[in-house]
Amino acid sequence: MRSRRFPAAATFGFTLFVLSLAGCGGGPTVLATTPTPGESGEAIEVPPPDGRFELDVPESAWTPTMIGGDQGAMLGRALVDRKAVMMVLGSAVGDAAFEEQVFRMIKAAAPGTSVVARARGTLDKLLEERGEIPYRVTMQPAGTDVLGRPYYLPKEHPLQTEWLTKKKALKGAEGLLTVRRIAVGDQRLRELRDRRRGSCDELLGALETGAAGVGAFFEPYADAVDLALDRAFARHLEQALPFWQEELAAARQQAAPGGDDARCIDGYEEFVDRYSPCIEGSCRVRPTLALGAGGVIGMDNDPFGALPDHCPTSAVRDYGREMKALAGRAVAEVLPHLGGAWSGELMRHGALSRLTEGLVELCAPRHRRFSAQDLESARGELAAFLGKLAGLEADGEWIEAGGLERAPGVGPIAVLARVQARGEDPGVGAVELLERLRRLERCDRGGERLLQVALVDVGSSEVVFMGIFFEEQLLCEGLPPGQP
């Protein structure tokens, strides 16, 4: 590729500098600096806020959603109704540690229920005598799923009533609690995972209601900021776009048809052309105020993500980087006019946005447990934070920034500026609160192991309870099953 010079500064209003790029021809390319406009001198008027946005979120009961239904509470009620039970553990789970976990689960669910035997030893004596177990459950084929694969369901084999004469061996137990590990088919597993316990709907609804007026409150500010950004960005594009388009046209003449350079030029021309409507102030890829992302100024990142990484070394220049630099210069012109009382309100709004987004993620269904005491403390801490945020006199200032944020309804945006706290940052407080709430989760084992539990009434031979549980639903640090 031959070295070339672009038109003189008198034509475009720019100075030249030399930048060597490894083009396909191997020679250096002399590139000109993208032209920039002079100061506009245009006044930027941002109306003052009309008071402060009100944040009134009533306290509400909430529990992050856990995978698994309410059958743990049903088991607890069945255990409470018996004065004494005997634990019968399957051979695959009959180690001492597991035995202790099951014992703690029973005592947490029913403190007044005695456990008269905690292992198979007592029952094994009867097995030697009779050669059969009084109660067992086997998995029997029950049908096929949509792919033709068989799935299995438990089948009960009831307690033999003649065993009731062995009162000494049963040690006065009114029930036999059997616990064993099982595997189930995909259909049954999906059914188990579809069960839910706990909900944050009331809390998230209260947050939505409490913040309902935020959009209307910020509307005059957002309109003024976006108008100023549109004008500044358009002024810079008016200088840069014709220059880039001519530069790309010249580069195409020197590129081999169908080669990497030509393909990169195609991509860059498409990229640059996407910003042409912004000169008229009618494009979605311009810089804008993104309240939903916590109060940042940014631009749609999708066009930048579509550019191949290798192109800056084979085409004329990195137009993605140039466009971000151009947008940054336009934003920098506007930032000095955007502070004042609005900045503090943006800090509060950003904290509320981060908190709400974090709570949505925190409350999503997962395999985990909580203690009732931890949840009660968490509810109080969240209510206290919201109360403080409602009355907080925050202060902030706009600064140039980078990185990516995800804006609701927009997607990823390239950040050009954000509000920075002067003094206490409520956004940091929101993040720290969310981290503390996440640490309350217990026994998040991923739902990899399943337990089948049955409670048989010794007096009637009736199976008073049977259920299949993910392990954390039953055995979690001595927490009662089904609570909270």
Q: Is 289 helix (H, G, I), strand (E, B) or coil?
A: strand
Does residue 363 lie in a domain region?
Answer: yes
Q: Are residues 109 and 216 in the same domain?
A: no
Task: Kindly report, residue by residue over 208-267, the tens digit of the pLDDT.
Answer: 888 888 888 999 999 999 999 999 999 999 999 999 999 999 988 888 888 888 888 999
Band of pLDDT at residue 14, cut at 50, 70 and 90: very low
Tokens 């220059």 -> residue: 243
Q: Are residues 326 and 357 in the same domain?
A: yes
Does residue 324 lie in a domain region?
Answer: yes
Q: Which residues pair with 114 in a beta bridge?
A: 84
Mean pLDDT of 184-197: 91
Q: What is the pLDDT of residue 59?
A: 82
332's enclosing H/E stretch is: helix 319-334
331's enclosing H/E stretch is: helix 319-334
Higher pLDDT residue, 126 or 442?
Answer: 442
Task: Kindly report, residue by residue over 36-46, the tens digit of the pLDDT.
Answer: 888 877 778 89
Q: Which two tokens stand for residue 265?
A: 């030029």
Does residue 103 lie in a domain region?
Answer: yes
Alpha-carbon torsion angle 282, 287, 290, 295, nearest 10 = -150
The least confident of 73-87, 88-102, 345-359 is 88-102
Does residue 41 lie in a domain region?
Answer: no
Q: Are residues 371 and 241 in the same domain?
A: yes
Q: What is the pLDDT of residue 439?
A: 95
Band of pLDDT at residue 205, cut at 50, 70 and 90: very high
Q: Are residues 360 and 396 in the same domain?
A: yes
Q: Are residues 273 and 407 in the same domain?
A: yes
Q: What is the pLDDT of residue 6?
A: 29
Q: Are residues 234 and 376 in the same domain?
A: yes
Q: What is the pLDDT of residue 10?
A: 32
Does residue 47 lie in a domain region?
Answer: no
Residue 132 CA to residue 128 CA, distance in Å, equals 8
Residue 481 CA to residue 109 CA, distance in Å, equals 6
Does residue 484 lie in a domain region?
Answer: no
Q: Which two tokens stand for residue 437?
A: 């709430």
Q: What is the pLDDT of residue 320?
A: 92
Task: Kindly report, residue by residue over 459-483, the tens digit of the pLDDT.
Answer: 777 889 999 999 999 999 989 998 8
Q: Are residues 406 and 467 in the same domain?
A: no
CB 85 within 8 A of CB 117: no
Residue 198 CA to residue 196 CA, distance in Å, equals 7
Cβ atoms within 10 Å, residue 9: 13
CB 480 within 8 A of CB 70: no
Q: Are residues 345 and 292 in the same domain?
A: yes
> What's the total number of domains in the chain?
3
Q: Are residues 308 and 428 in the same domain?
A: yes
Q: Report how far Cα 468 is from the mean position of its chain's Cα atoms.
A: 29
CB 146 within 8 A of CB 116: no
Q: Are residues 259 and 381 in the same domain?
A: yes
Residue 155 CA to residue 463 CA, distance in Å, equals 12
Residue 453 CA to residue 446 CA, distance in Å, equals 19
Does residue 469 lie in a domain region?
Answer: yes
Q: What is the pLDDT of residue 89?
A: 84
Task: Kindly report, residue by residue over 304-358, the tens digit of the pLDDT.
Answer: 988 877 786 665 788 999 999 999 999 999 999 998 889 999 999 989 988 999 9
Q: What is the pLDDT of residue 12?
A: 36
Q: What is the pLDDT of residue 45?
A: 87
Q: Are residues 193 and 215 in the same domain?
A: no
Residue 224 CA to residue 197 CA, distance in Å, equals 46
Q: What is the pLDDT of residue 91?
A: 66
Q: Are residues 169 and 274 in the same domain?
A: no
State pTM to two decimals: 0.77
Residues 6+ apart with CB under 8 A from 96: none
Task: Kindly report, residue by residue over 143-190, the tens digit of the pLDDT.
Answer: 877 777 777 777 766 655 555 555 566 778 888 898 888 888 899 999
Residue 470 CA to residue 194 CA, distance in Å, equals 12
Does residue 54 lie in a domain region?
Answer: no
Higher pLDDT residue, 86 or 29?
Answer: 86
Cβ atoms within 10 Å, residue 271: 20
Q: Which residue range(s) make up the domain with 24?
A: 1-33
Q: What is the pLDDT of residue 157?
A: 62
Q: Which amino acid is at 311?
A: C
Q: What is the pLDDT of residue 438?
A: 95
